[in-house]
Amino acid sequence: MKENWKELENSIIDCKKCKLCMTRTNIVFGTGNKNADLMMIGEGPGADEDKQGIPFVGRAGKLMDKAFEGLGLKRDEVYIANVVKCRPPQNRVPEDDEVKACLDYLRNQVILVNPKIIVLLGSTALKNILGKEYGITQARGKWIEKKGIMYMPTWHPAALLRDENKKIEFWKDLREVIKKYEEIKENKNGK
């Protein structure tokens, strides 16, 4: 594990740990507040993210930004990362060996950010962070605590683009997250 952001970011610059390096344009490391109490973890970069090197800037990211706006949350208040840092071809689900190659980067990001809450966006994030025994349909919307971190699994914003009905559940889950986030902020400020 790297002790600081500079070391961690330097360690991934020319990563060739898996085959995704052969088709990427950019490594999509992470973005946002590196001291955030709230972290969001998605699956992996899509085409827009691969072009820009920033997570959640495509259609799903724009949907997430609208949700942030509606909840009164600024994007730069949170830290956003993905399970894999390079785009899987045709936006397919990352394969186990690709996830394994990237997981230490993500673990290191979590250690450095030290969030109180992590929102797991979709099945890939849920299964690779909390365990294969979890399913997004059953776990979605339920708080899970592990090692002092509160996890909220919810739909990946891309799923909302395919199924409008999931927007209500996604919104409800994020409102729960904001309630808990506000409590943490109040406790920090001694109110």
Residue position matching structure tokens 């997004």: 136
- pLDDT, tens digit, for every residue of 48-71? 999 999 999 999 999 999 999 999
- CA–CA gap between residue 91 and residue 43 (Å, rounded): 10
- At 13 the three-state DSSP class reads coil
- CA–CA gap between residue 189 and residue 30 (Å, rounded): 27
Other C-beta atoms within 10 Å of 156: how many? 22
Judged against a pLDDT cut of 70, whether residue 191 lies above it is answered with no
Where do the domains of the chain lie, and which CATH numbers do they carry?
Answer: 5-188 (3.40.470.10)
Indicate the pTM of the whole model. Answer: 0.96
- pLDDT, tens digit, for every residue of 61-101? 999 999 999 999 999 999 999 999 999 999 999 999 999 99
